[in-house]
Amino acid sequence: MIDLLSYLYPWIKMLHIAAVISWMAALFYLPRLLVHHVERTTPGSGSEMDQTFQMMEEKLHRVIMNPAMMVAWVCGLIMIGLGMLDLGAVWGWAKLLGVIAMTVFHVWLGKQRKAVAVGQAKTGRQYRMANEIPTVLMLVILVAVVVRPF
What percent of the chain shows pLDDT beyond 90? 87
Quote the number of domains for the chain.
Answer: 1
**d(C-alpha 54, C-alpha 52), whole Å:** 5
Model pTM above 0.85: yes
Assign residue 119 a region: left if phi > 0, alpha if psi is -120 to 50, beta otherwise? Answer: left
**How many Cβ atoms are within 10 Å of 49's Cβ, its own excluded?**
13
pLDDT tens digit sequence for 74-115: 999 999 988 898 989 999 999 999 999 999 999 999 999 999
Q: Which domain holds residue 41?
A: 2-147
Check: CB of residue 112 under 8 Å from CB of residue 122: yes
Q: What is the pLDDT of residue 104?
A: 98
